[in-house]
Amino acid sequence: MYANHKELTLRGIILGALITVIFTASNVYLGLKVGLTFASSIPAAVISMAVLKFAKDSNILENNIVQTQASAAGTLSSIIFVLPALLMLGYWTGFPFWQTTILCIAGGILGVIFTIPLRYAMVVNSDLPYPEGVAAAEILRAGEQDTSDDTPAQSDASTGAKDIVIGGALSGIVAFLTGGLRVLADSAGYWFKAGSAITQLPMGFSLALLGAGYLVGVAGGIAILLGIIIAWGAAVPMLTSMTPQPSDVEMSAFAMKIWKENVRFIGAGTIGVAAIWTLLTLMKPMIEGLKISMQALKGGNSSNLSRMDQDLSPKAMIGWTVVMTLLLAVSFYQFVADASLPAGLAWLLVLVCTAVTFIIGFLVAAACGYMAGLVGSSSSPISGIGIISIVVISLILLLVGNAYPQLLTTGDGKFVTALALFCGSAVLCVATISNDNLQDLKTGYLVKATPWRQQVALMIGVVVGALVISPILELLYKAYGFTGALPRPDMDASQALGAPQATLMTTIAKGIFAHNLNWDFILIGVLIGAVLIVADTLLRKTSAGKYSLPVLAVGMGIYLPPTINMPIFIGSVLAWWIKNRITKNSAAAQRERNLKLAERKGTLFAAGLIVGESLIGVIMAFIIAASVTTGGSDAPLALKLTNWDNIAQWLGLLAFVLAIVILSRRVLSSAKTSA
């Protein structure tokens, strides 16, 4: 089947590259703003079907290659969880193009290579669900159906693309009114005090976060809500009641200071222990995956394998591995050379960082692939792996520094911290693409694609994504700045991108080298995480896996600002409510079909909400950067309205509610139409 279909075509590569650029920009912006990225495979598949239907001889395998290539946008952009930390540290003043690009290319392609030997064990001969991979395959199959079927190919693809466009237009308009004209507020909060204890009732109005919550699912949403309650219902009120409030500091500013300097470390501890527990639970499949990797490299590919069993050859894999490892070494050499260290120490650091990146990347590749198969690429605790990597790398470099004290004092002590963060960025590139590759290969396996062509397509996606990450980061930094790193002193700090994971990575790395990490609150978070892990384990056992409490999401609920967490929670509850309503109102014969149609439409509309707001953020960055360059304002389109704050908050709430209504009606109508 499909033996004569074209797969890796020039038009598909060009289309995949365009989608990769757009979704990379969206993911970088979203990740810097709230610490989340979205999987780009499903919307890329829909866009590909809608565009290539006008081309001659387009087919399911060609569309699959496009989504495989574009999936790199949703994963490689996760490097922003660490890399901006170099600016927050004050070591970089921008993003060097070649250093950043080479790092992303080398790490990303190694991520592809490391997971290829796992394909048979984890994709072909495995019962892992691969939720996003299966969903992408279902969408591709729907687009391939005959026009005589109930859901004709052209209308199915066109309708899916329409959902993305409508969602994108809606969130884009709201984002322009919020971040451009600034006539809508992006959040609101009601602060109150009981005795000397302070807390708040928060709300955020971001439609991108509403869409992200819709994709997260109700279990993740409830876990995030629990994190909010721990932070703002317990920790902040308790600490503010124990700490005298300065007379010249407002209530809200005082409470936020307590949260930033203390409570966030509780979230960091919870995130860290959740990530470690995940890796421990995956130890057995990870060891099995390593064994399979070694066996595959020894055995080689047989020339008589069928098309659907052909991976890149072991010789090609070894060649790519050697070249990418050398590229990593070049990237580290460029970084170390700027510090003017003695030649012997400089080369030692290059060798140590290259070896550490290779070994840790190889070890986490199987774990990341397994996590992607278990919970999907979007829900995998990649940031947790980043935290563990930073801790391990920092401790290794600290040992080197104890042997060579000059290392710890170079650049006022900033260099060794920056090197740990730079090395951690490389590990994260390996981890994220490892996480993505097996998900794509599952989609390909279901639609009977050729594995080696998918692997080549993902490498192309890595290169395209790597080429645009540095310019996008540079643009966003100059336009908005990051929390703790503003390029100009006169900038509006309230508009800075939070980059929450990068902030956390900076704090951890600095604390390890300075021996002043806030361990008390981190250990409290570890204890909370351990208790929640036990609760999650018991919940899964007693409910036969029906219910769960994702501990990593609880940690994010504590760590992220509540105005970011609340719309995510609302989006997850909205998805749950829609699903229950369709289940209740559908006839038994149509229930499963209606749920699938609703899930697909909701997923695409939610992806549109994310893409629309993110792209407007990037476009506004161009406008702001141009204005600042010519001596203008960093809010060039803002309408200067007096006494508008309360009105802006009510309008922001109204737009948020309107988006909920539109999303609900559109998804529910798909079920009614098919009934």
Task: Write the pLDDT tens digit of every residue in 628-649.
Answer: 666 667 678 888 888 898 999 9
Cα angle vertex 590, ends 584, 594, to 5°?
A: 75
Question: Percent of the chain beyond pLDDT 90?
Answer: 30
Which residues, including other chains, have CB under 8 Å from residue 276's CB and lie 6 or more apart? 384, 388
Residue in the structure block whose two tokens are 């004092």? 409
pLDDT at 15: 92
Cα angle vertex 421, ends 416, 426, to 5°?
A: 125
User: What is the biggest distance separating any 2 CA atoms in the chain, rounded to whole angstroms?
Assistant: 79
Q: Which of 72, 5, 8, 14 is nearest to 453 (CA)?
A: 8
Alpha-carbon gap, residue 636 to 374, rounded angstroms: 46
The amino acid present at 444, given as its one-letter code, is G
For residue 94, is pLDDT > 70?
yes
Alpha-carbon gap, residue 35 to 499, rounded angstroms: 6
Q: Which of 18, 122, 166, 236 is nearest to 605 (CA)?
A: 166
Buried residues in 485-523 as b, exposed as e (16+ CB within 10 A):
bbbeeebeeebbbbbbbbbbbbbbbbbbbeeebbeebbe
For residue 313, is pLDDT > 70?
yes
H or E segment to which residue 654 belongs: helix 645-674
pLDDT at 287: 64
Q: Give 642: exposed, middle or buried? Use CB within 10 Å, 0-12, 13-18, 19+.
A: exposed
Q: Which of 125, 134, 61, 71 is nearest to 450 (CA)?
A: 61
Residue 33 near residue 22 (C-beta atoms within 8 A): no
pLDDT at 581: 92
Alpha-carbon gap, residue 603 to 588, rounded angstroms: 23
Residue in the structure block whose two tokens are 């002043």? 516
Query: Per-residue pLDDT averaged across 273-301, rounded?
Result: 64
Residue 264 near residue 564 (C-beta atoms within 8 A): no
Alpha-carbon gap, residue 63 to 69, rounded angstroms: 10
The amino acid present at 549, given as its one-letter code, is L
Q: Which of 317, 383, 330 is nearest to 75 (CA)?
A: 383
Handedness of CA 64, 70, 74, 75 (dihedral sign): positive
Q: Give 399: exposed, middle or buried? Use CB within 10 Å, 0-12, 13-18, 19+.
A: exposed
**Alpha-helix runs per DSSP H in 338-379:** 343-375
The region of weakest confidence among 38-47, 255-264, 455-464 is: 38-47
Higher-pLDDT residue of 11, 552: 11
Q: Which of 462, 347, 336 is nearest to 68 (CA)?
A: 462
Top-confidence range, 225-239, 424-438, 600-614: 225-239
Query: Per-residue pLDDT averaged across 567-592, rounded?
Result: 89
For residue 156, is pLDDT > 60?
no
Q: Which of 104, 24, 33, 18 is nearest to 479 (CA)?
A: 33
| pTM for the whole structure | 0.76
Kindly report the average pLDDT of the chain as a whole number.
83
Which residues, including other chains, have CB under 8 Å from residue 586's CB and lie 6 or more apart? 594, 595, 671, 675
616 - beta bridge partners? none
